[in-house]
Copies of this chain bind each other. A is one copy, B any other.
Amino acid sequence: MSKKNNIIPHDHKIDKLSRSKVKGHKPKLIWFTGLSGSGKSTLAGKLEEEFFKRGVHTYMLDGDNIRLGLNKDLGFSLDDRTENIRRIAEVSKLFIDAGLVVLAAFVSPLRKDRDFVRSLFSEEEFVEVFVDCPLEVCEQRDTKGLYAKARRGEIKDFTGISSPFEAPIQSEFTIKTNKNDVTNSLKAILDHLKDEIKE
């Protein structure tokens, strides 16, 4: 059977607009990209807390719930990373269709993969946040002990050490986490987003 043909759409009445209206805010994907240890997941988690206080319906996607489930068949080669990000992008699209605000925190080191994510959404549905922190600082933090393992060769294909990171050139928002603490970084993102989430 052809992979593309013979999928005949149903005409369902409950659509993105109706699901979005009952939530009282617009759906949006906030995509955090940056090196391991840059603070993506911490910032996304704190941002979710702030949204939650404001009654925004959120969901967070990160390595914890993706790499151990949907994408547990994928490794960290460049091809697998591309497929990893493709699937996350498609899942994000379903969540946006459901009317939610999605916080996605993934290294997503390749520009072409991030561009694919962006291509699935309208301009107002997508915000790329570059969590910008020098490799040296991330490696010094080494909150998970992964850089040490990568340096010892115990982890292959580790971004920044043995696998490339292509810094974003068109992010909607950049936060330098080596120059701002979590509170300040969070405040800056909230300021940037405050008009965009509420109807």
Binding site for B on A (CB under 8 A): 1-4, 6-10, 12-14, 18-19, 22-23, 41-42, 45, 48-49, 52, 55, 57-65, 67-70, 72-76, 87, 90-91, 93-95, 97-98, 100, 144, 146, 149, 155-158
B64 with A9: CB separation less than 8 A: yes
Selected contact of A93 from candidates B69, B75, B156, B157, CB within 8 Å: B69
**Cβ-defined partner of A146 (8 Å) among B6, B22, B64:** B6
Cβ A94 vs Cβ B70 within 8 A: yes
B14-A48 in contact (CB<8A): yes
> Considering only CB atoms, which chain B residue lies closest to A143 in the complex?
B8
Interface SS majority for chain A = mixed
Extra contacts besides A6-B155, A14-B52 (20): CB < 8 Å: A1-B75, A1-B156, A3-B73, A4-B68, A6-B146, A8-B144, A10-B41, A10-B62, A10-B64, A14-B45, A14-B48, A22-B57, A57-B57, A61-B94, A69-B93, A70-B87, A70-B90, A91-B91, A91-B94, A95-B98
Contact of A75 with B3 in the complex, beta carbons under 8 Å: yes
What residue of chain B has the Cβ atom nearest to residue A71's Cβ?
B90
**Are A1 and B157 in contact (CB-based, < 8 A)?**
yes
Q: Which residue of B lies closest to A77 (CB)?
A: B1
B97 pairs with A100, CB closer than 8 A: no
